[in-house]
Amino acid sequence: MASTPPVDSASSTAFDFTDAQRSDQFQRLRKTHRSFVFPMAIAFLVWYLLYVVLAIYAPDFMSQRVFGNVNLGLLLGLLQFVTTFGITAAYVSFANRKLDPQATALREHLEASGAGRGEA
């Protein structure tokens, strides 16, 4: 079993990444990410909980037939899946347009400054 060599604090990459995390560039990336993820997560949770609450407390409403043997509860349940795929597609588009360029710029800056390789 190989042992891990001791880390010299002068060449530790943890310090470099801590500085990178505190940088304006990283904070902008984090704020951009959170500006999409938090509202979308809250919206989806509200939508999901609404479905559950309706199923529990409004069974007559949920059992209304829409066509044939398909009722409102079934349609709303299937829309949960559609919503999930829609959110995923929206996030991929958002990440490609907003997050990836910022992350690439941050990574290039870190690589240029020697962060992650123990260089200062």
Distance CA 20, CA 59 (A): 53
Cα 42 to chain centroid, rounded: 12
Distance CA 108, CA 120 (A): 15
Q: Give strand pairing partners of 87.
A: none
Question: What digits encode the pLDDT tens for the residues 90-109?
Answer: 999 999 999 999 999 988 88
Helix or strand run (H / E) with residue 57: helix 24-57
State yes or no: pLDDT of 111 exceeds 90: no
Distance CA 62, CA 72 (A): 5
pTM of the model: 0.74
Instruction: Count CB-CB contacts under 10 A for residue 106.
Output: 16
Identify whether the C-beta of residue 108 lies closer than 8 Å to the C-beta of residue 38: no
Identify whether the C-beta of residue 63 lies closer than 8 Å to the C-beta of residue 71: yes
Cα dist from 21 to 42, 66, 84, 105, whole Å: 26, 52, 31, 14
State yes or no: pLDDT of 74 exceeds 60: yes
